[in-house]
Amino acid sequence: MPEVLLTEDREAIRVLTLNRPEKLNALNTALTRALHDALLEADRDRGVRAVVLAGSGRGFCAGADLSEFSHLTTENPEAVLERAELTSRTQSLLRELSTPVVGAVQGPAVGGGAGLAIGCDMTVVATDVKFGYPEMRHSIVPAVVMTGLQRQLGPKLAFELISLGRMLTAPEMLELGLANRAAEPGEVLDVALEIAGKWAAANPLAMSATKNLFHRVADLPYAEAMRAGRDVNVIMRGFREAR
C-alpha cells in the first residue's frame, strides 16, 4: 500500500507531498495525521531550513475525505472530537512552525485543501488552480478553515466564498493576495523550490525570529506589536554570528 505522504530532502529543503492522487489527495485521518507529524518533525530537524508542501497527481488537495464521515457520527463522539482536534491542529501548524513553508498548489485546492494552501507562509499556484470552499453544497460547515480565510480577506468576500462556494482562479488569488506567484502546472514545484532555496540560504535564527514575530504582531495591538519588534531588534544583532 503506497504511503499517504511522501518526504524528500533536497539539501536543506524538505518536500512533503500529499500522496492520495486517486482521491485528489483528500484528507482522511491517516493523511492528516501523517502531515501533522511530518510538519513537527521538519520543524525539529535542524538540517531543515524550509518546507515545500505539494500534492501528487493533478490536484493539490480536495479537502476532507467525505467517505470517512459515515464513521464520524454522534454515535461515536470520541472519534468525532479526536478528528476535529487533529484537523484543527494540522491547519494551525503551518503558521505556528518556526520553519517557513511554501505551498506548491495545482488543480483543485478546496475546503481543507484551500485552508492548507493559504496557511502556508507563501503560496505558488498553478494556472489551472481551482480554489474555494464548497462545503455548504454538502451541508457541511467550513468551520476549521474559516478562521484563516477571514484573517486573509475582508469579511464580506470571505463570507461570500464560504456561503456560496464561489471558486477562485489563479489571477483572482494573486489579486486578492492569497497567492504570491503563478506558474504553469508543470513548473509550480520548481518555483516553490526556488523560494524555499532563498529561505534556506538565510540565517536560520533570523528566519525563525522573522516568521514568529510576523505572525505574533498580527494579533497584537499596535503598541504591543512595536514593543515585540523592539525586543527582537535588540537580540537579532547576535544572529549574524550564528548560521
Residue 34 burial (C-beta neighbours within 10 Å; 0-12, 13-18, 19+): buried
CB 15 within 8 A of CB 5: no
86 and 185: one domain? yes
Q: What is the mean pLDDT of residues 121-140?
A: 93
193 and 229: one domain? no
pLDDT value, residue 111: 94
Q: How far apart are CA 200 and CA 38, in angstroms?
A: 18
pLDDT value, residue 190: 98
Distance of alpha carbon 239 from the chain centroid: 27
Q: How far apart are CA 13 and CA 102, in angstroms?
A: 11
Could you list the residue range(s) of the whole structural domain that residue 214 is in? 202-241
The amino acid present at 237, given as its one-letter code, is: R
30 and 135: one domain? yes
Average pLDDT, rounded, for the chain: 90
Q: How far apart are CA 215 and CA 210, in angstroms?
A: 9
The amino acid present at 58, given as its one-letter code, is: R
Q: How far apart are CA 164 and CA 82, in angstroms?
A: 29
pTM: 0.90
CB 103 within 8 A of CB 55: no
CATH of residue 190's domain is: 3.90.226.10
157 and 235: one domain? no
- Residue written as grid cell 456561503: 163
106 and 161: one domain? yes
pLDDT value, residue 97: 97
Distance of alpha carbon 132 from the chain centroid: 14
Res 74 pLDDT > 70: no
Q: How far apart are CA 63 and CA 27, in angstroms?
A: 6
136 and 233: one domain? no
126 and 77: one domain? yes
Res 159 pLDDT > 90: yes
Domain end call among 199, 214, 231: 199
53 and 167: one domain? yes
215 and 150: one domain? no
Out of 135, 160, 194, 224, pick the active-site residue: 135
160 and 218: one domain? no
Res 189 pLDDT > 90: yes
135 has catalytic annotation = yes
42 and 62: one domain? yes
The total number of structural domains that make up the chain: 2
The amino acid present at 68, given as its one-letter code, is: E
192 and 120: one domain? yes
